[in-house]
C-alpha cells in the first residue's frame, strides 16, 4: 500500500475534512483518506497506482486548493 500526502488550502473545520474524505474515497483504488485541517494535509492510502491529478481534481472540484 502506498501513501500520497497532499497539502491542501481552505480546510477550516471537521466538516471540510469530511467533505474531502468523502470525495476522495470515491476514487477507485483509494482505501483510506485522512484530512487534517490543522496542518492542512490530506493523506491518501491507495491499493493500486493512481494518477495524483485525479485526487487533486476531486479536491479542487469541491472548493479547496491543492498546493504543489
Burial class for 54, CB neighbours closer than 10 Å (0-12, 13-18, 19+): middle
pLDDT in tens, 6-56: 999 999 999 999 999 999 999 999 999 999 999 999 999 999 999 999 999
Q: What is the DSSP letter of 62?
A: T
pLDDT at 1: 83
Domain that holds residue 17: 2-67
pLDDT at 17: 98
DSSP letters of 17-28?
A: HHHHHHHHHTST
Number of domains into which the chain is organized: 1
DSSP letters of 2-54?
A: EEEEEEEE---SHHHHHHHHHHHHTSTTEEEEEEETTTTEEEEEESS---HHH
Q: What is the CATH number of the domain that holds 39?
A: 3.30.70.100
Residue 68 — very low, low, confident or very high, per pLDDT cuts 50/70/90?
confident
Amino acid at each position: 500500500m502506498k501513501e500520497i500526502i497532499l497539502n491542501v488550502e481552505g480546510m477550516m473545520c471537521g466538516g471540510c475534512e469530511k467533505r474531502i474524505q468523502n470525495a476522495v474515497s470515491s476514487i477507485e483504488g483509494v482505501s483510506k483518506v485522512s484530512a487534517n485541517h490543522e496542518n492542512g494535509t490530506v493523506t491518501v492510502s491507495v491499493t493500486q497506482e493512481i494518477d495524483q491529478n485525479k485526487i487533486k481534481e476531486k479536491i479542487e472540484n469541491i472548493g479547496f486548493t491543492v498546493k504543489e
